[in-house]
């Protein structure tokens, strides 16, 4: 089983993942928590090219191919072997983010993104994608993106801007609406404890049904 967690910047993914880790600590066969861009040493090097502090002026196609390169490595070296061993994989972001950020955000064609994805991962899609949905204005007011940026030495939210984040949000909602059986949308404007409990319930419910 392969689960991805998605959401705009500042939607509370980090806390939700920590809570999910607790909820799944006794999961038989083990759980691999991983993240994108990243997940491998090579992927982390790409992550710092994309997200490290400083001025970046990536062309959208260059950006797409970098996230796709990191993902190809991640899928081949980490995700597929873990799935083949019978484990549960939970990824902090996956292709939903590419459709939202490089697609809706940067204006690249969704069909082209899917094609790159299918070729570079052997068509690997999550069994379940959990979307943390929050109005970007509220996310900005809550300051969670800023705190995460300070902690990680990365900064995206402010540089992308509210309009961009609104397009990202709409894309995640549209992706969920197009394949409701493979998505769970959680209202991330609720109190944080409630959001975290709902994420864990969505994942455990899905795994129980699968």
Residues lying near ligand TMP in the complex (CB under 6 A) are found at 9, 13, 35-37, 51, 67, 93, 97-98, 101-102, 148, 156
97 vs 129, beta carbon nearer ligand TMP: 97
In angstroms, the CA 166 to CA 67 distance is: 21
- Minimum CB separation of residue 28 from ligand TMP in Å reads 28
Residue ranges of alpha helices (H) inside the chain are 13-23, 41-51, 60-74, 80-84, 95-97, 110-121, 136-142, 144-152, 157-160, 162-178, 192-209
**Closer CB to ligand TMP, residue 102 or residue 196?**
102
Closest CB to ligand TMP among 37 and 87? 37
Residue 209 C-beta: closest distance to ligand TMP, Å = 27
Q: Which of 38, 120, 121 is nearest to 83 (CA)?
A: 121
Instruction: Using the minimum distance from each CB to ligand TMP, give the nearer residue, 51 or 207.
Output: 51
Asked whether the beta carbons of 6 and 94 are under 8 A apart, the reply is yes
Nearer to ligand TMP, 101 or 172 (CB): 101
C-beta of 51: minimal distance to ligand TMP in Å? 6
Instruction: Give the nearest residue (CB) to ligand TMP.
Output: 101
In the complex, the smallest distance separating the C-beta of residue 181 from ligand TMP, rounded to whole angstroms, is 23
Measured CA to CA, the distance from residue 191 to residue 134 in angstroms comes to: 12
Using CA atoms, how far apart are residues 74 and 76, in angstroms rounded to an integer?
A: 6
Q: Output the smallest distance, CB 174 to ligand TMP, in A.
A: 16
């Amino acid at each position: 089983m392969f689960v991805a967690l998605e959401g705009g910047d500042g939607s509370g993914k980090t806390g939700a993942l920590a809570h999910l880790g607790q909820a799944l600590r006794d999961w038989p066969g083990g759980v691999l928590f991983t993240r994108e861009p990243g997940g491998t040493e090579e992927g982390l090097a790409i992550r710092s090219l994309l997200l490290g502090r400083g001025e970046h002026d990536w062309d959208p196609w260059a950006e797409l191919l970098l996230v796709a390169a990191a993902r190809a490595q991640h899928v081949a070296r980490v995700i597929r072997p873990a799935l083949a061993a019978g484990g549960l994989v939970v990824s902090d972001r996956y292709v939903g983010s590419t459709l939202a950020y490089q697609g809706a955000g940067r204006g690249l064609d969704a069909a082209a993104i899917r094609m790159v994805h299918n070729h570079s991962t052997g068509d690997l899609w999550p069994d379940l994608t959990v979307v943390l949905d929050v109005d970007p204005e509220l996310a900005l007011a809550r300051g969670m993106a800023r705190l995460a940026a300070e902690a990680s030495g990365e900064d995206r939210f402010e540089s992308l801007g509210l309009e961009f984040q609104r397009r990202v949000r709409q894309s995640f909602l549209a992706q969920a609406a197009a394949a409701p059986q493979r998505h769970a949308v959680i209202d991330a404007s609720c109190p944080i404890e409630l959001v975290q409990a709902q994420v864990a319930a969505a994942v455990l419910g899905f795994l129980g049904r699968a």
